[in-house]
Chains A and B, each alone.
Chain A
Amino acid sequence: MAEAGRAKEHEHPDSGTYLRVAAVLVILTVLEVGVFYVPAFHLVLVPTLLLLSACKFALVVLFYMHLKMDSRFFAFVFGAPLLLAAGVLVALLFLFFGALTLRGAPGAG
């Protein structure tokens, strides 16, 4: 049983993988800051920034926190509250900004 348990533990990536992930993270951060300063991107600033930060989030969680290589159950234990947290955030935004729109604030139909 103990061996089966340990068998479920993952093989960690090598240092080269960690360095490559770090390089990608730095590039994504540079892109984020670049997008912020380049006026041409301002129309799509928010979705672009959210996408870039989501990529960085995924890279750290999957590779540095070893979620990619580890048991799927850990992914569930982390992912379920994460989804709930995201849902709460979206719900709150709709609650407050949706209510503003209904009251005839700018942007109301």
Chain B
Amino acid sequence: MTHAAVPQHHTSMGLDSRKMAFWAFIGSECLLFSSLISTYLVYKGRSIVGPYPPEILNIPFTSLSTFDLLMSSLTMVLALAAVQRGDMKAGKAWLFATAFLGLLFLGGQVYEFTSFVREGLTLQTNLFGCTFYVLTGTHGAHVTVGVLWLFTLWVRALQGKLGPANALTVEIAGLYWHFVDVVWIVIFTVVYLIQ
């Protein structure tokens, strides 16, 4: 199956403009998440009523979620490598694995949020609840978008519409996914480990 040649839009610097735009977007996302993390840090330790972080945060469970997301970054980059060399069987498998690991992470987040609500921590309970749910909820929303994106790419691969000629689409999805992982690295440390 031949793939339609995708015209490359290079900037005057010889770099693909889509990739350039996406790096700029990721830069803007850095500012978004830094504002949310800053807010969390500023209000850290200032809740008047509980539950408080040490009482409620489950480090072993969240460590598993962190491991899950790290492995999804590995599978994502292996998917890109497979698509670039034209090995679409491996590419489809790795893309599906990445999306599946993302779904697992989201499942873990849903379980965590529901268990926290059962223990009395809601968005309105205290400053910790508000900042925690906004920060991790925004991250979770980003993961959700990423999972949908990856499943879309997987379906396109199944339809034979993905290949080395348009591997950039997988690369850009990879940039988004790795960024989501990197944000979680920061959140895991700042929210869960530094109590």
Interface residues of A (CB under 8 A from B): 1-2, 4-9, 12, 14-15, 18-19, 21-22, 25-26, 29, 32-33, 36, 45-46, 49-50, 52-53, 56-57, 60-61, 63-66, 71, 73-74, 77-78, 80-82, 84-86, 88-89, 92-93, 96-97
Contact = CB atoms under 8 A, between A and B. Distances in A.
Given A15-B81, A32-B193, A92-B42, A26 B67 contact: yes
Most chain B C-beta atoms within 10 Å of own C-beta, residue among A19, A22, A85: A85
Contacts of B66: 29
Given A29-B70, A74-B20, A53 B186 contact: yes
A17 to B, nearest CB: 9
| Chain B binding surface, main DSSP class | helix
A14 B175 CA distance: 17
Given A22-B73, A89-B37, 6 more contacts: A15-B78, A25-B73, A29-B67, A74-B15, A74-B20, A78-B27
Contact of B178 (A60, A84, A92): A60
Contact of A78 (B8, B23, B35, B42): B23
Interface residues of B, number: 49
A88 B159 CA distance: 45
Given A12-B81, A85-B31, A2 B182 contact: no
Interface of B: 8, 10, 13-16, 19-20, 23-24, 26-28, 30-31, 33-35, 37-38, 41-42, 59, 63, 66-67, 70-71, 73-74, 76-78, 80-81, 84, 171, 174-175, 178-179, 181-182, 185-186, 188-189, 193-194
17 contacts: A1-B10, A22-B70, A26-B70, A33-B59, A53-B188, A60-B182, A61-B178, A64-B74, A64-B178, A64-B181, A71-B15, A74-B23, A77-B27, A78-B26, A82-B30, A85-B33, A85-B34
